Chains A and B, each alone.
Chain A
Amino acid sequence: MTRPIIEMKGVVKSFGHFQALRDIDLNVKEGEIVVIIGPSGSGKSTLIRCINQLEEHNGGLIIVDGHEVGPRCNRGVLTEVGMVFQSFNLFPHMTVLRNVALGPVRVRNLSWREAEERAHRLLTRVGLADQAAKYPSQLSGGQQQRVGIARALAMEPKVLLFDEPTSALDPEMVGEVLEVMQQLAKTGVTMVVVTHEMGFARKVANRVVFMDGGRLVEEGHPDEMFGTPRDPRLRSFLQAVLSH
Chain B
Amino acid sequence: MSIFDTFLNWKVFVQTLPLLLSGLSTTLTLGVTAIILGFLGGLLLALTRLYARAPLRQIAIAYIDVFRSIPILVLLVVIYYALPFVGLRLSPFGAAASALSLVSAAYSAEIFRAGIEAVPKGQFEAAHAIGLSPWRLMSDVVLPQAIRIVIPPITSNSINVMKDTALASVVAMPDLLKQATQAQALAANPTPLIGAAVIYILILLPLVRLVGVFEKRLAVRGR
Chain A residues with a Cβ under 8 A of chain B: 52-54, 75, 78-79, 81-83, 85, 87, 89-93, 102-103, 106-107, 151-152, 154-155
Contact = CB atoms under 8 A, between A and B. Distances in A.
Q: Is the interface of B mostly helix, strand, loop or mixed?
A: helix
Nearest to A104: B130
B212 interface: no
B123 to A, nearest CB: 6
A102 B140 contact: yes
Would you list the 6 A-B pairs with minimal beta carbon distance, nearest first? A79-B131, A103-B130, A89-B126, A89-B122, A83-B129, A107-B131
Contacts of A53: 128
B99 to A, nearest CB: 35
A89 B125 contact: yes
Which of A82, A93, A106 has most B Cβ within 10 Å? A106
B129 A90 contact: no
Contacts of A93: 144-145, 148
Contact of B122 (A75, A82, A85, A152): A85
A158 to B, nearest CB: 13
Interface string B109-150: 000000000001011011111111100100011001100100
Contacts of A75: 131, 133
Contact of A91 (B126, B128, B133, B148): B126
B141 A87 contact: no
A75 B123 CA distance: 18
Nearest to B129: A83
B129 A152 contact: yes
B132 A103 contact: yes
A91 B126 CA distance: 8
B122 A91 contact: no
A93 B145 CA distance: 7
20 contacts: A75-B133, A79-B130, A82-B130, A89-B120, A89-B123, A89-B126, A91-B123, A91-B126, A92-B145, A102-B130, A102-B140, A103-B130, A103-B132, A106-B132, A106-B133, A107-B130, A107-B131, A107-B132, A154-B130, A155-B130
Contact of B131 (A54, A90, A91, A103): A103
A93 B144 CA distance: 8
A54 B131 CA distance: 11
A154 B136 CA distance: 17
B42 to A, nearest CB: 21
B131 A155 contact: yes
Contacts of B136: 106
Contacts of A102: 130, 132, 140
A78 B144 contact: no
Contacts of A83: 125-126, 129
Nearest to B147: A93
A92 B136 CA distance: 16
A82 B129 contact: yes
Nearest to B144: A93
Interface string B161-183: 00000000000000000000000
Given A92-B145, A102-B140, A78 B131 contact: yes
Contact of B125 (A54, A103, A152): A54
Interface string B62-106: 000000000000000000000000000000000000000000000
B223 to A, nearest CB: 8
B130 A152 contact: yes
Contacts of B133: 75, 106
A55 to B, nearest CB: 10
A58 to B, nearest CB: 19
Given A102-B140, A106-B136, A90 B126 contact: yes
Contacts of B141: 91
Contacts of A87: 122
Given A89-B123, A151-B130, 14 more contacts: A75-B131, A78-B128, A78-B131, A83-B129, A87-B122, A89-B120, A90-B126, A91-B123, A91-B126, A91-B140, A102-B132, A106-B132, A155-B130, A155-B131
A122 B129 CA distance: 18
A90 B129 CA distance: 12
Contacts of B125: 54, 83, 85, 89
B129 A54 contact: yes
